[in-house]
Structure 1
């Protein structure tokens, strides 16, 4: 399993592992050195003691002169100094010797044809080694704990400039024109270089946002006038008495497309002005009010296609919502249902805090469901109308308003779009269900 740690945790882990490695090497080195040195000093000491005993003139003094913890044997000595059979085969010099489970150091020397053995019990040495091992182990554990403690302290100090820089970058005021330069508050090191990179990137982003604001302002000014001219011209043409039926149908299509484009432009401009934050709460409306308005707009086009338009109101739908955005969401879902439904029905159902749009249309293949909310993606490419922006716009509005979009399919065909809005006084949640 891939376990991801923060940079601070990784610094602490590396610091602790490095300290553990160094402390471990020192601990092993100390134990090995003490063991070798002690063994060497023991060999020198026992060699000196054995030669001191051999220089004694009175053999009777041998049994009284060995150091405490040492035993002296001779191959032709008295009964209490007599060498046992297991000692007779020992080679000359210093070595380890075992009698059962007990370990000894043995120093063997010879004078002429006679052999002498001096034994020293290793229990005192083993006890000192256990104490040394315990002290080293405790020191190792304490050094690792101290390394972790120091690692956390040092990591906090090392990461403080990075955390400060991250907080400054996250602050929305950095997108303002008068935002202070980040790099001035940091040293000319790696963090300072990162701050300078952020300054450059944020500068380009501010320039892009400035160009976008100018563009939306120009669009607002330039598009509204021709759309108004188109709408007015269509109204005048429809009042012309000598207009034949075919021309009247074409003018009605132009008028309807103009109204839809005007609504689309207004919605996109509103989203562009409020990108990254909630839209202004100026114009508010209830679900029932918006549904009644759209009912008048869409009933005729739906029934002209010989479809059944079912409207199910809800008396509990009294919450107030952002009227332009909610109208755009509901209108785009109704337009989507009308566009992709050739036979059957379209149903608009209101709920206490949301609504559902159902249709018996052609549906959308399973492999295209995930992409349906992307711009310029259409359910049926063979249909000539539409740019594939409706569902993308619905998703953007829902994200802007913190609503949620939940998508399911109908049997045997069609789809169901359920938009869940917030309860009055609560945070909104939205679910959109993509056409399936």
Structure 2
């Protein structure tokens, strides 16, 4: 499994984000509620102190009088004369205000009753300090809750993902091993168990299909070898006749080339039908240059009398660890398509240290066909009804089997470029 896309991490992250959102909402709610209650209580205290002062104090109407308690000071002045009020609250309009002066916090009520101005100042510095302490406590509790959510989420994710991880490990273990099967005893009757049983059933069906494919390919190959051998021997006998004309001899040679191609194609299909990938490993390096020259001569019949020049550019020697028959079929399909669909110009086959390129100046491939070029039902949209997709599908399957990469570029009416990168 890729470390950057592990399901357990996504579950943990989701749980953590949910916990963070819930904790932050709860924390902000507490802070907002505390602030609202605090403001309402302070405002009630200010109004209550002013009413009590007016009812109980005979000097409440005397301008210039001030009444001071532990945290509250009440200033009584005329509305036009405020010089006896401290400067930091002197110019405040009617209403309730928050004022900070000399590192002290005040809640101030300014009320005009008749011609008298009442200014009630409440020192709420200690309340604000406790409020900040409460906010810090909320943050600490939020962090602790997030850490707890992370631990719970991680443990829960590992618990939930554990059977999936075991299933993935088993599937990875028996990959490319037809005789292996899942140990279904590790899974219960939940959704993971159902998935494991369905995967086992699918695996068994797939193995039966692959075995039948292998048997079919082997049987067909065995049945075809005899008539092909007979055709080859008959062509060799005919080629030894002294009274053959040049045209007849050329036709016999064409039959011999076709027989050779069919033999190589049968061997290729046998290799592609193998179930175990280990069986297709080939340790000897085969040089592609001679294979290309041989294939060009075999496929030149597709050029006929067309004014097409074939150029082989062997920039660097290219050796690939694969059977010569496989390489011959791979190259033949690419070159045959170039020969068939190039009416004039140049066909260039280039060899580099790790890639083979076939370029042509043919009719090209349009965009809709390009999207399906390696599918077995692809046709060239040029009015020609001959199918070319099967050959390219064989190229693609050979590349997939050996870990190579096939790609192409094409412009309608200007030509195509097919490239095989031998990456392993």
TM over 0.5: yes
**Alignment partner for residue 57 of structure 2, among 62, 68, 75?**
75
Q: How many residues align?
A: 382
- What is residue 138 of structure 1 aligned with on the other side? 140
1:168-217 deviations in whole A, cap 9, x for unaligned?
2233x255454243321123333223222222222222222222222222
2:156 to 154, 157, 173: 154
1:313 deviation in Å?
A: 6.3
The match for 1:185 is: 186
1:14-413 aligned at under 5 Å gives the runs 14-28=14-28, 30-31=30-31, 74-76=56-58, 85=76, 98=96, 101=99, 102-103=106-107, 121-171=123-173, 173-174=174-175, 176-236=177-237, 256-273=257-274, 279-281=280-282, 284-298=285-299, 301=301, 304-305=304-305, 307=307, 310=310, 312=312, 314=314, 316-317=316-317, 319-322=319-322, 323-379=324-380, 383=384, 388-408=389-409, 413=414
Structure 2 gaps of 5+ residues are 69-73, 78-94, 100-105, 110-119
Work out the CA distance in 2 between the residues paired with 1:214 and 1:238: 36
Given that 2:178 and 2:207 are in contact with CA atoms closer than 8 Å, whether structure 1 keeps it comes out as yes
* Alpha-carbon shift at residue 246 of structure 1 (Å): 8.7
Q: Is the 8 A contact 2:380 2:388 kept in 1?
A: no
- Contact persistence 2:257–2:298 (CA under 8 A): no
Offset at residue 332 of structure 1 (A): 2.0
The answer to whether the 8 Å contact 2:283/2:321 transfers is no
SS in 1 for 2:58: coil
| Displacement of 1:267 | 1.4
1:265-294 Cα offsets, whole Å, 9 max, x none, are 221221221675683215642123323433
Partners of 1:199 and 1:170 in 2: how far apart? 13
2-side partners of 1:45 and 1:309: how far apart?
103
Distance in 2, matches of 1:209 and 1:346, equals 39
* Cα deviation, residue 353, structure 1: 4.2
Structure-2 separation of matches of 1:14 and 1:380: 50
* 1:110-131 deviation line (CA, Å, top 9, x unaligned): xxxxxxxx99743333332222
Give yes or no for contact 2:399–2:405 (8 Å, CA) kept in 1: yes
1:10: which partner in 2? Answer: 10
RMSD of aligned alpha carbons: 4.7
Structure 1 gap segments, 5+ residues each: 55-70, 87-96, 106-117, 422-426, 429-436
Compared with structure 1, are the counterparts of its residues 98 and 121 closer, same or farther at alpha carbon in structure 2 (3 Å cutoff)? farther
Partners in 2 of 1:15 and 1:315 — Cα distance?
A: 58
Contact 2:369 2:379 in 1 (8 A): no
